Amino acid sequence: MGKKILVVDDEKSIVDILKLNLQNEGYTVYEAYDGEEAVLKAANIEPDLILLDVMLPKLDGFSVCKKIRETSSVPILMITAREEEVDKVLGLELGADDYVTKPFSVRELMARIKANMRRTELEPAHTEEDNDIVNVGCFTLDCNRYELYKNGKLIDLTVREFELIKFLSAQPNKIYSRKALLEYVWDYEYYGDVRTVDVTVRRVREKVEDDPSQPRHIMTKRGVGYYFAV
């Protein structure tokens, strides 16, 4: 049985197209057409990834994402027909791993799905004996539990936010372009909207900086990219 993907969209034509292409890639596909059905199936099926439309009946995609995140860290790719930045920020804040905007190419979507599948396959198994702790300045990263502490206080980060700060802090003062970060942190190669990086950096700054408008840790080199300052 192939990896399980739950496709959530209220437009049957879109579900049918996605299902056909996913099955051709060897995935086992499940369907949900409203938010309440999506929450139930996510709990019962325990999929390996969820494609989640924002505009849904009964419960919208944001509410579905929030409910699923209460019990599961399954990769969630939000699908939105709107370009508003606030939608993308909200989806990422609620725990979505990324978003794609309609209309999207099936090729791009498949590349993102595979990248997120690889991420979960590479995550280490967590045991009580694991103790992969990294200290960088005032930060402590528990790389097995995906937990970040600042001066001993736990900072609530999504997995992607943790991976971003882990990557940058491992190469302090080295500047990475947004495209490079998409490749190294998101594993998207040339696929992906570079605004995803900007949104995620902004969310991380809001959580780890004393004054996000005057960051001291996650820095911008104008016209070049981002770096972790030590």
Q: How far is it, in rounded angstroms, from Cα 117 to Cα 131?
A: 25
Q: What is the pLDDT of residue 111?
A: 84
Report the DSSP beta bridge partners of residue 32: 8
The tally of CA atoms less than 13 A away on the side-chain side of residue 131 is 1
Spell 3-42 as b/e; 16+ CB within 10 A means b.
Answer: bbbbbbbbeeeebeebbebbeeeebebbbbbbbbbbbebb
The answer to which of 34-43, 79-88, 155-164, 172-181 has the lowest mean pLDDT is 79-88
Please confirm whether the linkage preceding 103 is cis (ω < 30° from 0): yes
Q: What is the pLDDT of residue 2?
A: 78
Q: What is the pLDDT of residue 169?
A: 93
Q: Which amino acid is at 190?
A: Y
Q: How far is it, in rounded angstroms, from Cα 116 to Cα 222?
A: 29
In tens, the pLDDT along 151-171 reads: 999 998 887 889 899 999 999
- The answer to whether 4 and 31 are in contact (CB under 8 A) is no
Res. 183 pLDDT band, cuts 50 70 90: confident
pLDDT above 70 (res 135): yes
All residues at 6 or more sequence positions from 107 whose CB lies less than 8 Å from its CB, including other chains: none
User: How deeply is 102 buried, as exposed, middle or buried, from its count of CB atoms within 10 A (0-12, 13-18, 19+)?
Assistant: middle
Sorted by where each starts, the structural domains of the chain and their CATH numbers stand as 4-122 (3.40.50.2300), 133-228 (1.10.10.10)
Q: What is the pLDDT of residue 125?
A: 44
For 77, phi then psi, to 5°, come to -105, 115
Structure-token pair, residue 50: 């969820």
User: How deeply is 118 buried, as exposed, middle or buried, from its count of CB atoms within 10 A (0-12, 13-18, 19+)?
Assistant: exposed
Q: Which of 71-85, 114-128, 171-185, 187-201 has the highest mean pLDDT?
A: 171-185
- The answer to whether 190 and 180 are in contact (CB under 8 A) is no
Q: Which of 23-27, 117-121, 186-190 has the highest mean pLDDT?
A: 23-27
Q: For residue 123, what is the DSSP state? A: S
